[in-house]
Structure 1
Amino acid sequence: MTGAPIRDRVADDAGHRLRRLEPWLDYAVELGASGLSLGPVFESQTHGYDSTDQLAIDRRLGDDQDFDALVAACRERGLRIVLDGVFNHVGAGHPYFQQALREGPGSRYASWFRIDWDAPGGPRAANFEGHSSLVALDHTQPEVAEYVAGVMRHWLARGADGWRLDAAYAVPPEFWARVLPAVRADHPDAWFVGEVIHGDYAAIVAESGMDSVTQYELWKALWSSLLDRNLFELDWCLTRHDGFLEHFSPQTSVGNHDVTRIASRVGPERAVLAVVVLMTTGGVPSVYYGDEQAFTGVKEERLGGDDAVRPALPDDPSGLDPEGWWMYRVHQQLIGLRRRHPWLVHARTEKVELTNTRYVYTARSADGEQSLTVELDLDATRAVVRDPAGTVLFQHG
């Protein structure tokens, strides 16, 4: 997003790139956003998820003063800030891990990692999904829990409002159950959302104490239903989604930094239908930067395969391609509709009509007192949202 160098680093790659976000804050407010969810901003080796100091702003992005300025600018506009906490693993260059390797099993930090000291070829540490550059922490250790809680408290005290817990699915829920109450003791209003791709969402929330998890089931159903012309999948998923809403409010989206852009998956016009569902169903919806301008980009399974879905933004919104502003206006309308109907956060969906290519559902408030009707038609690439009186509140196609 900020254009910071990733892998081809040089000695003088320091900068104040966090400041590049400030010209985009009014754009976010005008879009209708209520907060800013950042990727990792802490000192790291390459892409941010291989951290080496989680108490320091990455020098490529700036320093503490740059972070403070961003927090102040967000506060002026009523925007909240959620930080990306990578607490399942650290970079192999992290000084604690390097110290453990130097000093051996008796090192102060040896217990922080799951290291096989007798492995052929030398000590070998457990890692994240086969990436030797991402060294897994040992979440059974009280010192690790204290460290993570300390990092969280530090940045919440500096102005953050919550945390996205990266790879939360790889961390035992009982670890979060130890850490989060300790953090909430000082910051009771902080919000915690875990990155959970699969598993029992409701059980993970209950066991961990997190407020929310990423709703990947709905993300997948949205694009594949549109691509395969099979709206039965979407209806089935929304039935499950209603079940989750009995226990917590999932974080919902049609895209993120790890997946192919929705406009590349299904095309920009059908992407509108996905956004309609996103903004008329229960949960806490987020918009991945650029999706509101119909950015395209394909995720590839190779080194650098994320780069296409994580492009640098121009210096300010005036540098955007004029061809994308129609999608921005679509997002404005739908986010505005949602903000005028705040009960949608807890809304349930009721099927009215369903075929492979046509789906009509009612979004109804948890108390049953308020509702909207949503119509999706894949043949016409059409979406309509109506109030109970039949008045059209949004229409596309």
Structure 2
Amino acid sequence: MSIQAPRGTQDILPGQSEIWQYIENTAREICRRYQYHEIRTPIFENTELFLRGVGDTTDIVQKEMYSFQDRGGRDITLRPEGTAPVVRSFVEHKMFGLASQPVKLFYFGPMFRYERPQAGRFRQFVQFGIEALGSSDPAIDAEVLALAMDLYKGLGLKKLKLIINSLGDKESRTSHREALKNHFEPRIGEFCSDCQNRLEKNPLRILDCKKDRDHELMATAPSILEYLNDESKVYFEKVQKYLTSLGIEFEVDPTLVRGLDYYNHTAFEIMSDAEGFGAITTLCGGGRYNGLAEEIGGPETPGIGMALSIERLIAALGAEGIELPREQAIDCYLVSLGDAAKDYTVKLAYQLRGAGFTAERDYLDRKVKAQFKAADRLNARFVAVLGDDELSNNKINLKNMETGEQVEMNLETFVEEFKKTQR
């Protein structure tokens, strides 16, 4: 029996990887414009980071983490999300002391969650995320949302829906928490065991339950917007004002709570409205997390961020029928005829590559006709034909595959002459 990739993982093959590269390059360029800088954190972290940072009442911590003990007896977890590791690094390396504030970071990398694999959802998946640490200005909330929308629209997506909510500050959340407890407690026995456990620890998480989402009490649960204090209301109003001024359409959904414990104030999701995209429409999520840095041992530091799955993004592109450009054509394919010519193309391919061109040659001793077919498969713009006779006369023939035009060139100066054809 052959060994296959583990369930919930996938191989990104040539032909597909170019799509990923295009998305990554687009995201990097947008981050450059917004002045976000790349950070790379370890794939595994101490388990305590996620217990304290993500929250022990979340599905991620309770059900989905890949955790183990290493040979030194330390509790280690493959990272299930990117924000806690970035904030850990921010605290550990004292980035709060940098002269340039806020600190604006972005990352790409694999994340790991043990959940049921389905369309666009894997146990190992790749996230792109941004984090802005050090500012409590609602304008940066709008900036994070604008960057995310710019990325999606820059890739051609049109059927998008932005949902926002406010989870309020600590005072507002405490008032809402008590109201939720009073609302659910009389009938909590009708809910799943997870919700029963959450009632005391974090009743807001009940609203995010997938099992009991159709329970009648969900529809009548107290809205966080009813418990926002004046400061939180003003904050949320400013975020909406900035989004409106940027021409970014949005809807306010008071039931949006997100799945992680560290969120407060602004929370948001970007969804796909594309027909046939699937039952799970969320493409991107995030929000403000004032207090996370303190939770993991740092100074008081406001922060906001978002993350998106590249796999979900590619699925959304497919649902809208969008094909991203894939640069696969090569500059020159070397066709050889004869042993001496074949040997010489090893050096010639090296020289072309050294001059900055993409070049390929035959490695399978194919006939000339088969070599031309190989050049066609690689979308070669030019084919250089070298036979033993041409080699002895210090000549090489270059064919433009688009026009069919052929010219004879001096072999010793071929690379320099080839450069001129590219102008």
Q: With structure 2 as the length reference, what TM-score do the two structures score?
A: 0.23
For CA contacts below 8 A with separation 6 or more, give which structure has more relative contact order.
2
Q: With structure 1 as the length reference, what TM-score do the two structures score?
A: 0.24
Point out the structure with max Rg over C-alpha: 2
